[in-house]
Structure 1
Amino acid sequence: MIKADAVLSLAEETLGMTLPVRLRLWDGSEAGPHDAPVLVLRSKRAVRHVLWQPGELGVARAYVQGDLDVEGDLADGLRRVWAAVREARAADETAGRPRVRPSTVAKGVALALRLGVVGKRPAIPAAESHLTGDLHSRERDRAAISHHYDLSNDFYELILDETMAYSSGFHTSPEQSLHEAQLAKLDLICRKLDLRPGMRMVDIGSGWGSLTLHAAEHYGVHVTGVTLSSEQRDFVLKRAAERGLSERVDVSLRHFRDLSEAGVQDGRIDAIASVEMGEHVGDAEYEVFTAAIHRYLRPGGRVLIQQMSRSNDKPGDSPGGGPFIETYIAPDMHMKPLAKTIGLINRAGLEIRDVQAMREHYPQTVAAWAARLEASWGSAVALVGEEMARVWRLYLAGGSLAFEENRMGVDQILAVKPSTSGESGMPRSPLAWLS
Structure 2
Amino acid sequence: MNVAQRLTDLVGPLLGGDLPVRVRGWDGSEAGPEDAPLLHVTSRRALRRLLWEPNELGLAQAYVTGELDVPGGADELAEGLRRVWRHARASEAGPVGLSLSAKFNAARLALRLGAVGRRLPAPASQATVSGALHSRARDRAVIAHHYDLSNEFYSLILDESMAYSSGYFPADDTTLEQAQTAKLDLICRKLGLQPGMRLLDVGCGWGSLSLHAAEFFGVQVLGVTISAQQHDFITKRIAERNLGDRVEVRVQDYRAVRERPFDAVSSIEMGEHVGLENYPVYANALFSHLKPTGRLLLQQMSRRSDAAPGGGPFIEAYIAPDMHMRPLSGTLGFLEQAGFEVREVQSLREHYVRTVQCWLDTFESHYDQAVAMVGEEVARVWRLYLVGGALSFEEGRMGVDQILAVRPSAIGESDIPATPQWFTAVVR
Count, aligned residues? 422
Aligned AA for 1:339?
Answer: S
Name the counterpart of 1:351.
Answer: 341
Pick closer, same or farther for the CA change 1:292–1:4 going to 2, 3 Å.
same
CA positional deviation for 1:14: 4.3
Tell me, yes or no, if the aligned pair for 1:277 and 1:307 is still in contact at 8 Å.
yes
The residue identity in structure 1 corresponding to 2:334 is L
Unaligned runs of 5+ in 1: none
Runs of 4+ in 1 over 3 A off after TM superposition: 13-18, 432-435
Distance 1:18 1:322 in 2: 25
**CA shift at 1:174, angstroms?**
2.4
Task: Give SS of 2:192's match.
Answer: coil
> Among residues 283, 286, 290, which one is paired with 1:293 in the alignment?
286
State the partner residue of 1:174. 172
Q: Deviations over 1:14-65 (max 9, x none)?
A: 4554321111001011111212111100111121221121111111011101
Q: TM-score if structure 2 supplies the norm length?
A: 0.96
Quote how far apart the aligned CAs of 1:276 are.
Answer: 0.4
Instruction: State the match for 2:47 in structure 1.
Output: 47
Distance in 1, matches of 2:140 and 2:61, equals 25
**Among 142, 148, 151, the residue aligned to 2:149:** 151
CA contact (8 A) 2:294 2:406 kept: yes
Letter in 1 for 2:155: E
Q: Which residue in the other structure is 1:229 paired with? A: 227
Q: Hey, what does 2:366 align to over in structure 1? A: 376
The residue identity in structure 2 corresponding to 1:386 is E
Structure 2 residue runs of 5 or longer lacking an equivalent are none
Cα distance in 1 between the residues matched to 2:207 and 2:17: 46
- When residues 96 and 419 of structure 1 are mapped into structure 2, their CA distance, relative to the original with a 3 A threshold, is closer
Is the deviation greater in 414-423 or in 15-24? 15-24
The CA deviation at 1:297 is 0.1
Contact kept, 8 Å, 1:319 with 1:335, in 2: the verdict is: yes
Q: Secondary structure at the match of 2:155?
A: helix
8 Å contact kept, 2:51–2:103: no
The answer for the alignment partner of 1:136 in structure 2 is 134
User: Are the equivalent residues in 1 in contact too, given 2:51–2:107 (CA < 8 A)?
Assistant: no
What is the CA-CA distance between 1:74 and the residue it aligns to? 1.1
Residue in 1 that maps onto 2:217: 219
* Partner residue of 1:123 out of 111, 121, 124: 121
Q: SS of 1:225's equivalent? A: strand
Alignment partner of 1:163 is 2:161: yes
Distance of 2:17 and 2:139 partners within structure 1: 39
Q: Which amino acid aligns with 1:87?
A: A
- Structure 1 residue aligned with 2:268: 275
Deviates more, 1:163-172 or 1:124-133: 124-133
Partner of 2:277: 284
Q: How far has the Cα of 1:5 moved from its partner?
A: 1.3
Residue 252 of structure 1 and its aligned partner are, at CA, apart by 1.9
Determine if contact 2:54/2:98 at 8 Å carries over to the other structure.
no
Q: CA RMSD in A?
A: 1.4
Structure-1 residue corresponding to 2:108: 110
Amino acid across the alignment from 2:214: A
Instruction: Say which of 330, 336, 339 aligns to 1:340.
Output: 330
Report matched runs for 1:40-119 at 5 Å: 40-72=40-72, 73-89=76-92, 95-101=94-100, 103-119=101-117
- Contact 1:10 1:107 (8 Å CA) reproduced: yes
Distance 2:96 2:67 in 1: 22
Task: Report the Cα distance in structure 2 between the residues aligned to 1:411 and 1:419, rounded to whole angstroms.
Answer: 25
Structure 2 residue aligned with 1:403, among 393, 399, 402? 393
Change (3 A) 1:104 1:243: same
- What SS is found at the alignment partner of 1:246? coil
Distance 2:315 2:18 in 1: 25
Work out whether residues 15 and 98 of structure 1, in 8 Å CA contact, stay in contact via their aligned partners in 2.
Answer: no
Give the distance between the partners of 1:172 and 1:331, measured in 2 at CA. 33
Q: 1:242 aligns with which of 240, 243, 251?
A: 240
**Does residue 417 of structure 2 align to residue 418 of structure 1?**
no
1:376 partner amino acid: H
Query: Counterparts of 1:235 and 1:197 in 2: how far apart (Å)?
Result: 25
Q: Aligned partners of 2:102 and 2:232: how far apart in 1?
A: 54
Separation of aligned partners in 2, 1:382 and 1:71: 19
Between the aligned partners of 2:104 and 2:417, the Cα distance in structure 1 is: 68
CA distance in 1, matches of 2:78, 2:15: 21
Farther off after superposition, 69-78 or 394-403: 69-78
- CA offsets 1:81-105 (integer angstroms, 9 cap, x no match): 110111121xx5xx3432332x333
Contact 2:15–2:88 under 8 Å retained in 1: no
Shift of 1:106: 3.0
AA at the equivalent of 1:119: G
For residue 363 of structure 1, what is the aligned residue in structure 2?
353
Residue of structure 2 equivalent to 1:6: 6
- Of 368-377 and 118-127, more deviation after overlay is shown by 118-127
Secondary structure of the 1:75 match is helix
Amino acid across the alignment from 2:26: W
Confirm or deny: 8 A CA contact 1:163 1:210 kept in the other structure.
yes
Q: CA deviation at 1:282?
A: 0.6
Deviation for aligned residue 1:433: 5.7
Return the alpha-carbon distance in structure 1 between the equivalents of residues 281 and 18 of structure 2: 46
